[in-house]
Structure 1
Amino acid sequence: MIERIHLAIVREVQRRGSLTAAAQTLCLTQSALSHSIKKLEAQLGTALWQRDGRQLRLTQAGQALLAVANRVLPLLASTEQQLRQIARGERGMLRIGMECHPCYAWLLGVLQPFLAAWPHVDIDVRQQFKFGGLGALLNHDIDLLVTPDPVYKKELIFEPVFDYEQVLVVSRRHPLAGAAWIDPPQLAEETLLTYPVEADRLDIFKLFLTPAGIIPKQHKTVETTDILLQLVAANRGVTALPNWLVNEYASKFDIASIRLGPRGIAKQIFLGIRAVDRGVAYLAAFVQQARSSRPDKPGV
């Protein structure tokens, strides 16, 4: 059986020109090196070198083995380095699941410095999950979940990243514009625009309208934030978004924000990871970067 040491011996003898020099490079005695090669030659039934005076000349079989050594040994060395980096948490694939539709713009601000600092970590961002984000995290389909609604289990850790308030967004020409806050019945005759997410997962429904028994006159879904806010600015409907996102778009669209109820709806964004992965260095670095890139931080 051809082993790694055989490949290393063939390569070093070719490089150094003698068994003695190759043995020194490989930290072997010359007798141990010679014994190893003679044993391999006996197994293969062919010689790997021929003596040409004081020089060793590779046979056709030796040339074939040298070609393999030149391909395989660098690959093995590279693989070992990658595995060591993975073991130290310096290399890997970070699969991010999103349960916060408005958070994509914020996520871009987190990814840019993270990717620069961790060049050996690949990123994959996923939004759709067959069994939801929690199931995807538990089933190892993703490694990190961005969510405003953590579900605490012993297998998982949810790290809070930043606080925000969910607010109603209306056109500045809307009759409600300028109000300090609104009650649920005031939305009964409105067209509510939301992202294409199930109503029972939307805060505007589960924390504001549904407990009060209120159903908006119409409910329409819109894929992108820009189009959503263009429709709101055109007075085609109202929506509910995080206050930090509204602040980002306030100079771009003619919109106003209103508190939902006299106390508002306070929320947090969390990053969920599996407890067994808490020691992975790049996961910890991502959480740290997310906290330093929070959208409510001045200059971010």
Structure 2
Amino acid sequence: MIQRIHLEILQALAEKGTLGEAANALFLTQSALSHSIKKLEDQLNTTLWEKQGRGLRLTPSGEHLLQVSHTVLPQLAQAEAVLRALGEGRRGKLRIGMECHPCYEWLLTVVQPYLQRWPDVDLDVVQRFRFNGLEALEQHQIDVLITSDPVLKEPLVHVPVLQYELRLVVGNTHALAERTTVSASALSTEHLITFPVARERLDVFTQFLLPRGVEPRQHQEIEAMDIMIQLVAARRGVCTLPDWLAERYQAQYPIQHLRLGDAGVFKTLYLVYREADSGLAYLADFVRAGAISEAVKSQS
């Protein structure tokens, strides 16, 4: 039957390209590697690879098993990490995924004291803004998702950690800088700068512009937040940021921030994790620290 080593062999072959390099990566001999796959092929009555020149090419069966390995191996690795953490009490690895740029700024406010409390817990941050965080969480590729777009789905737990208002940021000398609020129609003549995220996940579009049938004059994507703020300060465009982040940058750059519409656009940042992992002390402490940070902010 299919064993972990079979999945590791296919991944190593796909990454290294040759049987010899794959064997070296797995600390196996070529003959042992070939024998292991040949035995599985005989059991399943299929072929997983075939020779192509000096190298090997995966067959459709091999490609399918390779795709299975991308899901199963991370799950096995996570299961081992959980068992080790449970066995050792304070050891483990916390993998945090983020779906938004401001998520990273929030994380910086809580991560340092957390690392001091848990010196034996490794921390890994997946900061990819076009990935499917919910899928990564369900497939055990991450342990905690930081998102402002929760999908209330069992058996996932959603903990609110930060409530904020989305604000329009403009340069001090911009024509809108004297206002306290801005209408959607006012942005029809503006150069709007956003992070490189699909429109259906940008709140300025989904909750402000599109419901009112408004398009900005120009839309530009920028990944570096500091560059975005400098462009705005130079009146090269406008952008939106959470209020707490806009206030932080206002102390450094000549910018102002305004309310989007009379009612404003309000959002909540969530930590999402698998309910089955609730017993992990180091994960529970990270979530609790995030919730406490919001409680302190609300009282200040």
Tell me the TM-score normalized by structure 1: 0.69
Distance 1:136 1:202, change over 3 A: same
Distance 1:89 1:192, change over 3 A: farther
Q: Tell me, yes or no, if the aligned pair for 1:96 and 1:125 is still in contact at 8 Å.
A: yes
2:141 pairs with 1:141: yes
Q: Tell me, yes or no, if the aligned pair for 1:178 and 1:258 is still in contact at 8 Å.
A: no
Q: Tell me, yes or no, if the aligned pair for 1:102 and 1:225 is still in contact at 8 Å.
A: no
**1:36-51 pair list within 5 angstroms:** none
2:280 match: 280
What per-residue deviation string (whole Å, max 9, x for no partner) do you get for residues 51-70 of structure 1?
Answer: xxxxxxxxxxxxxxxxxxxx
2:264 pairs with 1:241: no
SS at match of 1:154: coil
1:229 match: 229
Distance 1:158 1:201, change over 3 A: same
SS at match of 2:232: helix
SS at match of 2:135: helix
Distance 1:227 1:295, change over 3 A: farther
Alignment partners' CA distance in 1, 2:244 and 2:295: 6
2:258 pairs with 1:258: yes
1:59 match: none
Alignment partners' CA distance in 1, 2:143 and 2:85: 18
What per-residue deviation string (whole Å, max 9, x for no partner) do you get for residues 103-155 of structure 1?
Answer: 22221221101111001111111122775011111111110000011100111
Q: Which amino acid aligns with 1:223?
A: E
Q: Which amino acid aligns with 2:289?
A: Q
Q: Which amino acid aligns with 2:212?
A: A
Q: Tell me, yes or no, if the aligned pair for 1:145 and 1:271 is still in contact at 8 Å.
A: yes
Q: Tell me, yes or no, if the aligned pair for 2:103 and 2:147 is still in contact at 8 Å.
A: no
Alignment partners' CA distance in 1, 2:209 and 2:100: 20
Gapped regions of structure 2 (runs ≥ 5):
1-81
2:297 pairs with 1:297: yes
Distance 1:192 1:295, change over 3 A: farther
Tell me the TM-score normalized by structure 2: 0.69
Of 255-264 and 122-131, deviating more is 122-131
- Percent identity between matched residues is 49
Alignment partners' CA distance in 1, 2:180 and 2:295: 23
Q: Tell me, yes or no, if the aligned pair for 2:100 and 2:129 is still in contact at 8 Å.
A: no
1:6 match: none
What per-residue deviation string (whole Å, max 9, x for no partner) do you get for residues 226-285 of structure 1?
Answer: 111110000000001100001111110000011001010111110000011111111110
Alignment partners' CA distance in 1, 2:203 and 2:110: 24
2:45 match: none
Q: Which amino acid aligns with 2:111?
A: L
Q: Tell me, yes or no, if the aligned pair for 2:165 and 2:265 is still in contact at 8 Å.
A: yes
Deviation >2 Å, runs of 4+: 82-89, 127-131, 291-300
Alignment partners' CA distance in 1, 2:202 and 2:293: 25
Q: Tell me, yes or no, if the aligned pair for 1:146 and 1:272 is still in contact at 8 Å.
A: yes
Q: Tell me, yes or no, if the aligned pair for 1:129 and 1:136 is still in contact at 8 Å.
A: no
What per-residue deviation string (whole Å, max 9, x for no partner) do you get for residues 63-116 of structure 1?
Answer: xxxxxxxxxxxxxxxxxxx96643465211111000121122221221101111
2:118 match: 118
What per-residue deviation string (whole Å, max 9, x for no partner) do you get for residues 181-223 of structure 1?
Answer: 1111110010000111111100001100111111111111111
1:268 match: 268
1:38 match: none
Q: 1:294: how far off?
A: 4.2
Give the paired residue count: 219
Q: Tell me, yes or no, if the aligned pair for 1:88 and 1:280 is still in contact at 8 Å.
A: no
Which has the higher Rg, Structure 1 or Structure 2?
1
User: RMSD between aligned alpha carbons?
Assistant: 2.2
1:20 match: none
Q: Tell me, yes or no, if the aligned pair for 2:222 and 2:228 is still in contact at 8 Å.
A: yes
Distance 1:175 1:130, change over 3 A: closer
